[in-house]
Amino acid sequence: MKRTTISRRGFLGMLGSGSAAALALGAGLRPTPAAAAPMAQANGSAGFTLPPLPYAYNALEPFIDTATMELHHQRHHGAAVNNLNNALKDYPELRQREISDLLANISQLPEAVRGGVRNAGGSHLNHMIYWATMGPGGGGQPNGALAQAIGSTFGSFDAFKQQLTDLSLRIFGSGWGWLALDRSGKLQLISRPNQDAPVMDGFNVIVGIDMWEHAHYLKYQHRRADYVAAWFNVINWESVGKRFDAANQAL
C-alpha cells in the first residue's frame, strides 16, 4: 500500500501534558502538538496502562454487543498494552513517553523496539480513539465546524458515510478505516492495514472504525457491512467534533 507523509505534525492527543513535548526535545526528537484526547493516560515506572471504557460494556447494545466489548477491550486492547510494555522493558525512559509521540517519531526509536511500538503501540492508540469516539445514544450527524467541513469535502454527510463504508469494506484482512486531517487542515478518508497508526504518516485522526474480526465477529460473523452500518449508530459526534476542533487548532 502506497503511503504519503502528509505532515511533520504528529498527533500527541491530550494523553498527557506539555511535558511530552519537552521529553521529545530532550531526546532529540521532534515534538508533536497537543490535539484531541482519546482517553487520559498517565505513564509511570510501570509503563502504559489499559484505560477503562468511558461507558459500560453493555452501553452500545444492540449495535455492538456486550460480549464483544468485553473481549475487545479486556483481551485484545489489554494484550496490546502488555505487549507494548514488554517491547519497551529494556527502555524505561520510552515507557514514560506518550504513545502518540513514540509513533510519530518511530523512525528515530531504537530499531529493536520499532516493531513492537508499531504493532502494539499502534493498537493501543487506535483503540483509545475508537472507544472515545463511540458512546450510548450516539449516531445521527455531526454539527458545527465538523459538519461544514464534511459537507464541503464530500458533498454531503450521506456521501461521506457511503465513502467511509466503501473504504472500510475494501480492507483486505484486518485494518482500520479513518477520517483524518492532513497538514493543510483538509479532511481525508484513509485506510491502514493491521494496527498501523496514521500518526506515523503525520495524519491527525478524527474518527475511525476497527475492521479486525474481533471487533464484530461474535455478533455479525462474516456480515461486515452490517457491522459498519451498526457502528454509525454509536458514533459520539460531540466527542468527534471536539477532536476535529482540537486537531485544527494544532495545525
Express each pLDDT in 168-198 by its tens digit. 999 999 999 999 999 899 999 999 999 999 9
Say which DSSP state 189 is in.
Answer: E
Residue 54 lies in a domain: no
Residue 49 is placed in which grid cell? 496502562
CATH number at 109 reads 3.55.40.20
Tell me how many domains the chain contains.
1
Q: Which pLDDT score, from 0 to 100, does residue 251 have?
A: 83
Residue 104 lies in a domain: yes
Is the pLDDT at 2 greater than 70? The verdict is no
Q: Which pLDDT score, from 0 to 100, does residue 43 have?
A: 56
Is the pLDDT at 45 greater than 60? The verdict is no
pLDDT digits (tens, 9 = 90+) for 66-117: 999 999 999 999 999 999 999 999 999 999 999 999 999 999 999 999 999 9
Residue 55 lies in a domain: no
- Which range, of 34-43, 55-64, 238-247, averages the lowest pLDDT? 34-43
Q: Which of the two residues, 32 and 96, has the higher pLDDT score?
A: 96
Is the pLDDT at 240 greater than 80? The verdict is yes
Residue 56 lies in a domain: no
Q: Which pLDDT score, from 0 to 100, does residue 25 have?
A: 24
Residue 47 lies in a domain: no
Instruction: Name the residue range of residue 125's domain.
Output: 1-39+65-251
Residue 156 — pLDDT band, cuts 50, 70, 90? Answer: very high
Q: What's the Cα-to-Cα distance from 47 to each of 17, 28, 89, 172, 203, rounded to whole Å?
A: 16, 21, 9, 33, 25
**Average pLDDT, integer, range 22-38:** 33
Is the pLDDT at 11 greater than 60? The verdict is no
pTM: 0.84
pLDDT digits (tens, 9 = 90+) for 193-228: 999 999 999 999 999 999 999 999 999 999 999 999
Q: Which pLDDT score, from 0 to 100, does residue 37 have?
A: 40
Residue 49 lies in a domain: no
Residue 52 lies in a domain: no
Is the pLDDT at 8 greater than 50? The verdict is no
Report the distance separating Cα 73 and Cα 71, nearest Å: 6
Q: Which pLDDT score, from 0 to 100, does residue 44 have?
A: 54
Report the distance separating Cα 47 and Cα 208, nearest Å: 26
Is the pLDDT at 6 greater than 70? The verdict is no
Residue 248 lies in a domain: yes
Contacts of 77 (CB under 8 A, 6+ apart): 50, 123, 124, 127
Report the distance separating Cα 245 and Cα 144, nearest Å: 10
